[in-house]
Amino acid sequence: MSADNNVIISVKDLKKHYNDGEVKALDGVTTDIKKGEVVVVIGPSGSGKSTFLRSLNLLERPTGGTITFDGNDIMSPATDINKLRQKMGMVFQHFNLFPHLTILRNMTIAPMKLHGLSKEEAEKKALALLERVGLADRANAYPSQLSGGQKQRIAIVRALAMDPEVMLFDEPTSALDPEMVGEVLEVMKNLAKAGMTMVCVTHEMGFAREVGTRVVFMDCGRIIEENTPEQIFTNPQNERLQAFLQKVL
């Protein structure tokens, strides 16, 4: 559909209004996300970053505009949103691990029920992923027995177990104690290196600069400026972005 067939998610004039337009969480957002990109979304609190991210897999239902994923209009009634969501992993600020299931079960339940993997296949895959984030020894623990950093690493590999094409991160390190931020960013960095397409809402400017391929600055429900990290951090154009960077850097 798109001229550039590397585009995986295409967002056009996306709007999300509350209370009959009184609150405009998103006020016309247009952008394309290409395969292999690591898009870092920054902006002040309440600027619509979460709403934007959560619209991409329809956890939030936009009130206007279109989103296409792999060329499919995700809001069309003909689209099976559950199928699409399987291709978009999501990581939340508060982890949202399933507390009644072991780590292993957290990671195997979706591949088994949705991809039809056998228990052995799913567990083998889960263990390989756990190995990758250094948590193989916690496979049979319950989420309540883990630290915040461990929980978030598990949440990431739980999403990866579904072999997603895109990973969405909504402030994955904001609920963590400072000493645990690094271990989670490390996992995300390795994921980016491995070529995963990622959209990350984060306040970690170091991560944005080092790992991002593009930084998107949002304010008041709009994209104000987007550019390479290099340009955004050394040569910001918009004065709101300049003010924002002044505060966070």
Ligand X SMILES: Nc1ncnc2c1ncn2[C@@H]1O[C@H](COP(=O)(O)OP(=O)(O)O)[C@@H](O)[C@H]1O
Q: What DSSP letter does each residue of 65-112 carry, written as one string?
A: EEEEETTEETTSTTS-HHHHHTTEEEE-TT----TTS-HHHHHHHHHH
- Segment near ligand X (CB under 6 A); pick from 48-56, 94-102, 173-181, 234-242: 48-56
Which of 40, 42, 49, 183 touches ligand X by CB under 6 A? 49
- Segment near other proteins (CB under 8 A); pick from 32-40, 107-115, 182-190, 214-222: 107-115
Please state the closest distance from residue 18 (CB atom) to ligand X, in A: 4
**H or E, element range at 187:** helix 178-193
Question: Alpha-carbon Rg of the chain, whole angstroms?
Answer: 18
Please state the closest distance from residue 235 (CB atom) to ligand X, in A: 24
Q: Nearer Cβ to ligand X, position 122 or 215?
A: 215
Please say whether the beta carbons of 11 and 40 come within 8 A: no
- Segment near ligand X (CB under 6 A); pick from 39-47, 87-95, 105-113, 227-235: 39-47
| Contacts (CB under 8 A) with other proteins, residues 155-214 | 158-159, 162
What is the residue whose two structure tokens read 């709009």? Answer: 222
Question: Total number of residues binding other proteins (CB under 8 A)?
Answer: 28
* φ, ψ of residue 182 in degrees (nearest 5): -60, -45
Per CB under 8 A, 127 contacts other proteins: no
Q: Which residues bind ligand X (CB under 6 A)?
A: 18, 23, 25, 43, 45-51
